[in-house]
Amino acid sequence: MTPSPSNTDPILPGATIGILGGGQLGRMMTIAAKRMGYRVVVLDPTPDCPAGQVADDRIVAEYDDIVSAAILAETSDAVTIEFENIPAATLEAIEPNAVVRPGSGIVRIAQNRVAEKTFLRDSNVPVPAFHAVTDLDSLKNALLDIGTPAVLKTASGGYDGKGQWKLDSAEDALAAWDELAGREAIVEEFVALDKELSVIVARDVHGTALCYPVSENTHANHILDTAVMPAMISPNLAKQAEALAIGIANALDLVGMVAVEMFLTQDGRLLVNELAPRPHNSGHQTFDAAVTSQFEQVIRAVCGLPLGSTELYRPVAMANLLGDLWANGEPDWQGMLTMPDVKLHLYGKAEARPGRKMGHLTATGRTPEEALERVQESRSKLE
């Protein structure tokens, strides 16, 4: 029998965890859960999804299939998500009879940029200036207030730079509005960046929250390229970032994990950009270099267990492997593996496409700079 959603009793190894979403994050969550002795059932529309390849069972269904989601809930002792664009309505439908962490309310906030920015602003969290956009007049008024350059984003559904337009002029705004085709949107100020950072924080059923060291991230074509922990910033700034992330987790009353993506501006301010209430690409390196990986940590939080240590053994960096690496054939795995201190993670995706995340590498070093140099060198060998 499924325990009450409000029950804080631990869900112990041997129980079954249901995961909505079967991509690479679900795969690594599944590996961590099975190592701890849990069974895992994955719901995903793709029959041979990465997580399904290592799970105990899979349900092939769309994410808005309430009947299939109810079957997942009935066969699981706890249900969690792999990414925040699982329909909140699906979670809401199964919550009365299942332990669902994070809950639909948190997911509803995270999957809509207007709701997300409004929640953060109302929680006294520093964010870029923004305006909701519902029509062309509201877009023009937003630009009058914010000025240009600015960024227009779809309110929902965008990721890795999709659904975003930089606006340098009123003419750009008109063209972007045509492409937007009437979808709900948000306009944000264009931030003069020094660095992009993220803080991954887990929070348990008793309200205890623990952060991983701040990650410093670089992007290429709007897709995360590298991430290094700890970030190459001052200890005082790191403490500020961690305090912001924990404050957000508390404001959400989160049970689970949230990645808080932040901008460090050129004038030294921290602004929160986005929330992802699940494990995050910028935390992949914790699999190899932290006492408790983010994937084990989220299982602990969802199952009501004590959180594990977030300490790093050494500074560590991660580099994404995109489908572009396969453009001229299979990458040179043997050449890369001549570096015995570098770890290779491939996700089991059948087709390599440009921009598709196919895997990642991690490397440690005596310093964050050395770790980053090492992982970039290893990736260069694949070409």
Question: Residue 241, CB half-sphere, CA atoms under 13 Å: how many?
Answer: 34
pTM: 0.94
Please indicate whether residue 243 or residue 158 has the higher confidence score (pLDDT): 243
Instruction: Find, among 3, 169, 182, 167, the residue nearest to 77 by Cα.
Output: 3
Query: Across residues 43-63, what is the average pLDDT?
Result: 97
pLDDT for 4 beyond 80: no
Residues of the chain with CATH 3.40.50.20: 16-100
Query: Which tens digits make up the pLDDT trace of 174-200?
Result: 888 888 877 889 999 999 999 999 999
Rg over alpha carbons for the chain, rounded to the nearest Å, is: 21
Residues of the chain with CATH 3.30.470.20: 193-380
Mean pLDDT rounded to a whole number for the chain? 94
* Gap between the Cα atoms of 81 and 63, Å rounded: 11
Query: Which tens digits make up the pLDDT trace of 221-263?
Result: 889 999 999 999 999 999 999 999 999 999 999 999 999 999 9
Candidates 3.40.50.720, 3.30.1490.20, 1.10.3720.10, 3.40.1190.10; CATH matching 129-189: 3.30.1490.20
Query: Across residues 314-331, what is the average pLDDT?
Result: 96
Residues of the chain with CATH 3.30.1490.20: 129-189
> Which CATH number describes the domain made up of 193-380?
3.30.470.20
* Gap between the Cα atoms of 322 and 67, Å rounded: 35
- The residue to which tokens 């593996």 are assigned: 337
pLDDT for 158 beyond 80: no
> Which CATH number describes the domain made up of 16-100?
3.40.50.20
pLDDT for 1 beyond 50: no
- Alpha helices, DSSP H, located in the chain: 24-35, 66-74, 88-94, 104-110, 113-122, 136-146, 170-180, 235-252, 286-289, 294-302, 333-336, 368-380
DSSP 294-322: HHHHHHHHHTTPPPPP--BSS-EEEEEEE
